[in-house]
Chain A
């Protein structure tokens, strides 16, 4: 039976039941930054391995940018490419998003659009912080 009170079916990530707020916050932070999971890796080994490689490449791009060897367009292109791939990875490994207040503990199954919105928004924030950080440090010139 479908529960219409939830936008999609509820899901409980492994850390959601933790009573320690600090542990949950750290686990969530890790969840935002690390898209892979053991179960996901077993299900889509090739895709996730390719994802790891792409993540490394994207990280190298940020490092190159920090060293002043890449322009803004190249970083945006890489970051966009990585974001597309992260959506695919997460749909296989961590297919859930938070529901309701961000300080709450409700999670639900993520459909494709939920995951696009989540990864797009998260990576926009991460990208903006890194981009502005590099720019204000004078490491990135546009």
Chain B
């Protein structure tokens, strides 16, 4: 009676909270309508000259009352205020997607409006649109706003990184958002790249001065093929589909370019006289490059180019410095002298008038375009580039040493090397311990399972404390859905590598699911699963056993399908609406428990997670068995695990293991359902326990009674048979 009362109470608590959660979710769209999640951007935001007519620029540049049209390359607007009746420049406003299309965790960029004052300090940041699932419900969007607020007042030229400040390295640290590391790392890149790009254009940041190149002139007459082979001319091809147009055999644009200051290249392209004439026009520290179009009909000069204006389709970048071209930086190019040069339909020579540029160092030629969204027709900024670096044989003393900064994900791996090492050690240790299960289960008995449990319980505790609450590395179905979308839209390894713990965890999960089934992750290392079962075990140990119950098998066999329904439902919804799928993925209480914290969320979520954990006190792993969509997703490939658990023929009638199976994974015929099994190894302990496994105990008693020796137990779970050997006849 007590059991049913407890069951009814616990179930009622979970059902009520689930209902309230559903209500909360249904109410969520109205709340999220005011957020930036997948917010509709004003039409023309990416192209309209008067950017500030469309978005509230004043919010990111306080005090500014008037704004210019978009200018520069990359584009920005100037913000002005009336001071003593005079129009005074207050600062600059930039739209992040005008400068970089760095994707965040969702694979899409966080569209950010950034304000910067004339001293190069960030004055305001406003998120216009994001697609980050974690910020939809798990972590409030205000966390990202608070994160962005950390930039206010900071100088754009500072070294700003996510993590602790390191004054000795001149590094300013920003507090990350727990559970949204990838998002904030991407956001930091966006902020710093955008700010620096505009600050360099307007002269706040000084360009890097690089030593000029000293060229080797062997007097060779280079043909086109040799220049291509030696990298002296490079090609940049943009396909139609790369800018969102229908696939076409003709490229959107196909360009060749090269550096003309080098005498051999210059003479090959322009002829000796042409090159001398060009060099005579260039001053000290000026550089020339040629560009020809060999495919496509789009102009690299831009159709909207006007006298005195800027060529807005090409620029070059060296390190952090961008170099753009005005009309005075352009010369006509009428032909290519080098034998074998391709036919071209557009050509030109551009001059870099900056001592910051050096032909000795690598640089990128960039074609700046727009990508058209096929569904909405909206245009967004996109750039395409290839790297150019003169071969060592073209430079006196060869190429200078260039130290490229680490990619963001590499910095994360270096910064958290110790934790990554410990986490990897944990994963390897659990794998090794499980691989040695036969040795451990043979050392255990039904009454003493410590040789197995000491490892399992240690894994649980480490998983809850270190992995779950410490590293926030709780795998989730949302990651599966994100991968699915990334696969469709933009797969970037760098994005997933930015969260090393989840990345490593998934490698472990994929490998172990195919080796042994989902049980090793679900039963040993899932932080929430571990917490759930630990609560059950602790409750058992402290005297609540009388309230604990096992869901009857006939109900278990029905309820276990619910999690598959949840998984397929989420998958189907994600195809139509990723946002809705992310909301519905709140059926996982992981965010509430580990990422955000039970007491940091609105009460329906807290009640739901607490209800599930409360129910876990009375019955083993109710969430894992009946609701977990991630468990269902992993259970399906577990059908094809390589190595299962052992059984004996007698298991079809003996239900000793089945009675003790906390996962209800052993059916009436004694077969193990590996999709449900959590690999607790209790049945494997019985398998070789000659006092607990009925067929073995029977044989033990028989042998003892007959005075026969107890041979070791073989791999088949039986005593190794005693084979009488015929006595040899005595030799004569």
The answer to whether A and B come from one shared complex is yes
Chain A neighbourhood of B246, CB < 8 A: 68, 141
In this complex, how many residues of chain B approach chain A with their Cβ under 8 Å: the count is 30
CB distance A5 to B649 under 8 Å?
Answer: yes
B272 within 8 A of A: no
Q: Do A2 and B652 form a contact, CB below 8 Å, given A7-B672, A68-B246, A141-B241?
A: yes
Candidates A3, A77, A101, A131; contact of B649 at CB < 8 Å: A3
Contacts A138-B247, A142-B488 given: A4-B675 contact, CB under 8 Å?
A: no
Most buried by B among A3, A68, A132: A3
Q: Interface digits, B633-661 against A, CB 8 Å rule (1 contact, 0 not)? A: 00011011011101111011000000000
The reply to whether A4 and B247 form a contact with Cβ atoms under 8 Å apart is no
Do B644 and A4 have beta carbons less than 8 Å apart? no
A71 to B246, CA, bound (A): 11
Chain A contacts with B in 106-142, Cβ cutoff 8 A:
113-114, 116-118, 120-121, 128, 131-132, 138-139, 141-142
* Contact in complex: A2, B672 (CB < 8 Å): no
Q: Find residues 227-283 in chain B having any chain A CB closer than 8 Å to their own CB.
A: 239, 241, 244, 246-247
Counting CB contacts under 8 A, is B487 at the interface? yes
Which single residue of chain B is at the shortest CB-CB distance from A68?
A: B247
- Contact status B640-A97, CB under 8 Å: yes
With a cutoff of 8 Å between Cβ atoms, the chain B residues found around residue A120 in the complex are 636
Partner of B244, one of A72, A114, A139, A141: A141
Q: Say yes or no: B649 contacts A141, CB within 8 Å.
A: no
Tell me if B489 is interfacial: C-beta within 8 Å of chain A: yes
Is the beta-carbon distance between B640 and A121 smaller than 8 angstroms? yes
CB contacts under 8 Å to A, within B483-508, are: 487-489
A47 to B640, CA, bound (A): 27
Is A30 an interface position by the 8 A CB rule? Answer: no
Report the minimal beta-carbon distance from A28 to chain B, rounded to whole angstroms. 13
Residues of B within 8 A of A98 (CB): 640
Query: Does residue A81 face the partner (Cβ distance < 8 Å to B)?
Result: no
Alpha-carbon gap, A131 to B639, bound state (A):
25
Task: Decide yes or no whether B674 CB sits under 8 A from chain A.
Answer: yes
CA of A118 to CA of B672, assembled, Å: 18
Using known A-B contacts A2-B652, A73-B575, determine if residue A116 contacts B636 with beta carbons closer than 8 Å. yes
Residues from chain B with a CB closer than 8 A to the CB of A7 are: 644, 671-674
B670 at interface, CB cutoff 8 A: yes
Residue pair A100, B643 in contact (C-beta under 8 Å): yes
**What is the bound-complex CA distance between A102 and B672, given in angstroms?**
19
B416 interfacial contact with A, CB 8 Å: no
Chain B residues whose C-beta falls within 8 Å of the C-beta of A101 in the assembled complex: 642-643
Pick the residue among A102, A118, A141 that contacts B639 (CB under 8 A).
A118
Per-position 1/0 for B660-691, Cβ under 8 A of A: 00000000011111110000000000000000
Tell whether, in the assembled complex, residue A4 and residue B648 are in contact, meaning their CB atoms are under 8 Å apart.
yes
CB B372 to nearest CB in A, in angstroms, measures 11
| Inter-subunit contact B247/A1 (CB<8 Å) | no
Residues of B within 8 A of A57 (CB): none
A138 pairs with B642, CB closer than 8 A: no
Q: Tell me, in angstroms, the Cα distance from A97 to B637 when the chains sit together.
A: 12
Measured in the bound complex, the distance between the Cα atoms of B374 and A121 in whole Å is: 31
Kindly report which residue of chain A lies nearest to residue B241, judged by CB atoms: A141
Which residues between 64 and 98 of chain A lie within 8 Å of chain B, taking CB atoms?
68, 71-73, 76-77, 97-98
Give every chain B residue within 8 A of A1 (Cβ-Cβ): 649, 652
Residues on A with C-beta less than 8 A from B637 are: 117, 121
Contacts of B649 in A (CB 8 A): 1, 3-5
A121 near B636: Cβ-Cβ < 8 Å = yes
Interface pair B575/A4, CB less than 8 Å apart:
no
Given A4-B651, A5-B647, A139-B247, answer yes or no on A131-B640 (Cβ-Cβ < 8 Å).
no
Task: State A102–B715 Cα separation when bound (angstroms).
Answer: 22
Instruction: Please state if A132 and B247 are interface contacts (CB–CB under 8 Å).
Output: no
8 Å CB contact of A4 from B374, B636, B640, B671:
B671
Q: Is the CB of A131 within 8 A of B487?
A: yes
Complex Cα distance A71/B575, Å?
A: 13
- A6 interfacial by beta-carbon distance below 8 Å: yes
Nearest residue, chain B, Cβ from A121: B637
Query: Sorted from nearest, which 8 A-B pairs have the closest CB atoms?
Result: A4-B670, A117-B639, A4-B651, A2-B669, A68-B247, A117-B636, A4-B647, A101-B642
Please name 7 further chain A to chain B contacts, defined as beta carbons within 8 Å, in addition to the given A3-B652, A5-B651, A7-B672, sorted by A numbering.
Answer: A4-B671, A5-B649, A8-B671, A71-B374, A117-B640, A138-B239, A141-B246
20 residue pairs from A and B, CB less than 8 Å apart = A4-B647, A4-B651, A4-B670, A7-B671, A7-B672, A7-B673, A68-B246, A72-B488, A98-B640, A100-B643, A101-B642, A102-B642, A114-B639, A117-B637, A117-B640, A121-B636, A131-B487, A141-B241, A141-B247, A142-B489
